[in-house]
Chains A and B, each alone.
Chain A
Amino acid sequence: MTPLMSSLACVMALAQAFFLWRGKMHILKEGLLLFGFFCISCVFTLLVGSPDDPQIEHYPLRMLALCLCFSTTSLPRYRRRYLVMAQAFWLWVELFGGIALAYRGIEFAWARSLAIFLLCCCSTLLSRISKEMEFCLMVFWIAIWILF
């Protein structure tokens, strides 16, 4: 996937995150939104990714994980907990997707996984999360997405 399309995927994840956890939480509403975002991510991946590239297999899940990370900044409560959990989900997708791909000869993206892991660990040390810290976190996530 080209860097431009990868950046576009990041913007899409950011845009999708805007709609999550708004107002009173209902399982069906949030589930439907996540399902919709996942489907959109799948269609996006199919359109812009090369069918011969095995790395597109878990690309929609990576987009969903990034979207969840972004969305935690708008949570009213338990932000640190869900922040860590969203990043853990992203790490999960990267780690095990990477292991499955590594068995097919594709190099494991250690830098990306380590960066997410470190950010996840550091997030557990966050106290009350200010607006500035939210911005910093989003910059870190975007940097991991784009650079690694």
Chain B
Amino acid sequence: MVRILFIVFLCLLAPGLVSMGYSLWQGPAAWSVDSGVFWGMPISLFVFWIGLAHAGTLISAIFLVLDVKMERRTSILAELATLCALVVAVIFPLMHLGVIQNFYMVAPYMESRGSMANVCSPLVWDFCCILAYGLLSVVYLVVHVLADKSAVAASIHRPLAWLLFPMVLWVHTIVSLDFAATFVPAWRGAFFPIYFIVGAVFSGLAMVNIMLCAEGYRMRQLEKLMLVGSWFLGAFLLWDFALKGNLSVTVLVFAVLLPQLMFVSAVRESTLGRVLISSSIIVGLLLERVFLVFPSGVMGFGWVDLGLICFGFGLFGVIFLVARLKLSRVIEGEEVLMGEVEETVPKRPATGRFSYFAPLTTPEFRMLRFPLLLGIIACTLFLVWVVGCLEENGIAFSDANLVPLTCPIITTVAGIVLCLRPLVMHIGKVGGAVMVALAALLGVLAGMVYGGVTSVPSGAVVSSTGDMLDVGTLPDSTSTLDSVAIIRTKAVFEARCAGCHGADGRLNEKFVREYYPVPQNLDVSRMDALGEDSLVNVILNGRTNMNPYAGRISPQMARGLVRYMRLLAETPAVDNAATQNEGGDE
């Protein structure tokens, strides 16, 4: 059975790799993109896979902290599936970026490499959350695997689950804000955070159920949860329809109506029936993500898009099966119920099921209070630094923009301290101090390397088609643009530059919200300080996330563009807000 599945997934992966390679080579033009929002298949697949990447750990952690009994093999399978789905999920936003080699710019490392990380952008929040979630999920799985053999691992398993519980919900909430914080009317929804969580958990439950069926296990509670999930998803779909008039009947049928067949005992009791219902949910949720990302309608869906879908499933299947085989001894070991693992913790009394603890005295709280305190301190220091950087550079922000960064920072620091603490206690104070010093040193070195490396142009993404655009004759650097040159330059500026810099030269607000670094705000004083030659050089050769335009426009046109931008910068900004709002509402 495993071999057959492995071959099936390999067959999916092979064409998927071709599609992936073509997409990386060709860039965003390769896959279908919504004409209104410029987002395409990679974002749909990212949201879909990140949703699947939540359920495993979520189920495992929630069941553990709520004292719900769950077989260890089931929870380890679910956690493994989570990690594999996470690996698949992170590939797609990297593809979507276009400048894949600059992916690290999304890290909120404020002023490094000459550009300011945009902490107001949900993409930066995504990066922080997914990094923290991935790290903690790996640690959680390792601790879980070791928990039945090591008392130390068992002692931190439950506190770690308490840390992971809010984190996993936080991640998908932040993913929902990628949509909810935009101008696109179809994505406006203050209910999106909970709606996305429901969708993610629902699809994840279906995935875990398929895996359990493949393993020959069954978990009735999971099936009931799937049914409840389908009702809530249906309610959210109808609520969305009531507010905005959007409703996909296909999604409703696959993800809401078909799962109701679980009420039929013949379907429920058959493995094939359960697999088909779960697959229907997965398909429904995948379609739901696709329709969500394409509010103008899916057009130009081609082999690349299909290939990317195959790539996701194929890669997930191959990684999961390999990891499953490697961990088979652990998964198929003796039947230890998760809820019983905590009984090995010496501090927690095992007298009776419903033990009462006075406030702030539970074993988990005792273990977590110090790591959490450190996490809160680290987060506070980071936020103070961020606020200082933003104010120093005159970048507008709201306190609400910074809230999403808090949980990943606190949780990561707390998780690391929680796991290191027993280790430090085991190796003694001197060894611990040495380890902390080494970690600090490594951190400083990493920071120095990251901040100190010179900026590299974002690659030769140069079109080979068409003649170079020229503004005409600009004899010297002091001459000004005449009216003809202004018209020509304006046309080029609006075609090539306005997408990011805004038609008025004061940044496209949609771009600023969605893109990860804060683009340079080129006012007159800034432009004069940088100098015309320097700006011409940036246009021609690129800089960090600015693509090079040498070969597509002539040096004269680049100089013309710089002067046109200066003209725009000299124009009073009175009517800019109105212009931007008009553009934004379109």
Contacts and interface: CB of A to CB of B under 8 A. Distances in A.
Interface stretch (A5-13, A14-22, A124-132, A139-147): A124-132
B87 to A, nearest CB: 26
A56 to B, nearest CB: 8
A102 B466 CA distance: 44
A113 to B, nearest CB: 9
A77 B190 contact: no
B191 A99 contact: no
Contact of B232 (A35, A95, A108): A35
Nearest to B354: A77
Contacts of B225: 27, 31
B501 to A, nearest CB: 21
A103 B235 contact: no
A104 B510 CA distance: 12
A102 B403 CA distance: 12
Given A42-B238, A42-B242, A100 B193 contact: yes
B178 to A, nearest CB: 11
A88 B192 CA distance: 17
B566 interface: no
B227 A46 contact: no
A103 B231 contact: no
Nearest to A123: B359
Contacts of A42: 235, 238-239, 242
A35 B504 CA distance: 49
Chain B CB within 10 A, most for which of A42, A54, A96, A108: A96
A121 to B, nearest CB: 11
Contacts of B190: 54-55, 57-58, 96-98, 100-101
A35 B359 CA distance: 33
A80 interface: yes
Given A96-B173, A127-B358, A104 B188 contact: yes
Contact of B354 (A78, A93, A128): A78
Given A32-B231, A39-B235, A124-B360, A27 B221 contact: yes
Given A55-B190, A92-B193, A108-B400, A100 B359 contact: no
B53 interface: no
B232 A38 contact: yes
Contacts of B228: 27-28, 31-32, 34-35
A35 B235 contact: yes
B351 to A, nearest CB: 15
A103 B194 contact: no
Interface in A72-115: 77-78, 80, 88, 92-93, 95-104, 108, 110
Nearest to A105: B581
B360 A97 contact: no
Nearest to B120: A103
Contacts of A54: 188, 190
Nearest to A43: B242
Contact of A125 (B192, B193, B360): B360
B169 interface: yes
B231 A35 contact: yes
B194 A31 contact: no
B359 A125 contact: yes
A125 to B, nearest CB: 5
Contact of B243 (A57, A61, A95): A57
Contacts of A57: 188-191, 243
B177 interface: yes
Interface centre among B173, B360, B513 (most CB of A within 10 A): B173
Interface centre among B190, B243, B360 (most CB of A within 10 A): B190
Interface string B221-253: 100110110011001001100110000000000
B188 to A, nearest CB: 7
Contacts of A61: 191, 194
Nearest to B238: A42
A97 B193 CA distance: 7
B199 interface: no
Contacts of A101: 190
B398 interface: yes
B180 interface: yes
A126 to B, nearest CB: 6
A88 B182 CA distance: 26
A39 B233 CA distance: 11
Interface string B337-364: 0000000000000000010101110000
A100 B181 contact: yes
Contacts of A100: 177, 180-181, 188-190, 192-193
Nearest to A78: B354
B519 interface: no
Given A42-B235, A58-B191, A100-B177, A31 B398 contact: no
B307 interface: no
Interface of B: 166, 169, 173, 176-177, 180-182, 188-194, 221, 224-225, 227-228, 231-232, 235, 238-239, 242-243, 354, 356, 358-360, 398-401, 403-404, 513
Q: Which 4 A-B pairs have the closest CB atoms?
A: A31-B228, A100-B180, A97-B190, A96-B193
5 contacts: A34-B228, A51-B243, A95-B403, A100-B181, A102-B400
